[in-house]
Chain A
Amino acid sequence: AQKVTQAQTEISVVEKEDVTLDCVYETRDTTYYLFWYKQPPSGELVFLIRRNSFDEQNEISGRYSWNFQKSTSSFNFTITASQVVDSAVYFCALTGSGNTGKLIFGQGTTLQVKP
């Protein structure tokens, strides 16, 4: 069965701190995709990144970076120099190769960035 675990329910940091959100996944598929989505208070989930199972290169986009490690089945997300606008619920998700829109989401990590 496929499963995504986000062990951190809530994280609170002060602005400008770095913060890492953990994500561990389980799948028997050899081809799969991993994602991070952001859900601000307005409720609309926003796509942040997609990684396929054959690409373990880390990725950086501005203050955001992602560390994909197949050996530990982890796909962690780091925000550098956090800002108040980063406050949101962040979801890690996994999909199989068959239906690439059927995402399995973790329970989410609520990030609060205090000024």
Chain B
Amino acid sequence: GAGVSQTPSNKVTEKGKYVELRCDPISGHTALYWYRQSLGQGPEFLIYFQGTGAADDSGLPNDRFFAVRPEGSVSTLKIQRTERGDSAVYLCASSLPGVAGELFFGEGSRLTVL
């Protein structure tokens, strides 16, 4: 399809395990964002890529979280030593450059840490 694609849609893991979440943005969208949404809350910003580089990673909660976008398209959010508090829906969004805030979101990856 033409939208933002996220995989897996659901991920259940045990505390302490490593997890990767993938985002495939809309073709031609140079900006890519990761947000995290806990139950009953609004999305919280994690990191923003412009092309291959992380332009703003101020929202990453700690050094267990890391994201890459090596070729300026697909991005992977990596979480090491998962904790129960990491359980949330991780949302990816992309946008065209210069179009302030008009983000196209994927359906999210629901992470559950047991």
Contact = CB atoms under 8 A, between A and B. Distances in A.
Contacts, number: 68
Interface in B40-87: 40-45, 48, 55-56, 58-59
Interface of A: 4, 33, 35, 42-47, 50, 52, 91, 93, 95, 99-108
A15 B59 CA distance: 39
A44 B55 CA distance: 24
B55 A103 contact: no
18 contacts: A35-B101, A43-B108, A45-B91, A45-B93, A47-B102, A99-B56, A100-B101, A101-B31, A101-B33, A101-B100, A101-B103, A102-B48, A103-B45, A105-B42, A106-B42, A107-B41, A107-B42, A108-B42
Nearest to A47: B102
A50 B100 contact: yes
B102 A102 contact: no
B89 interface: yes
Contacts of B41: 107-108
A99 B55 contact: yes
Interface centre among B35, B43, B58, B104 (most CB of A within 10 A): B43
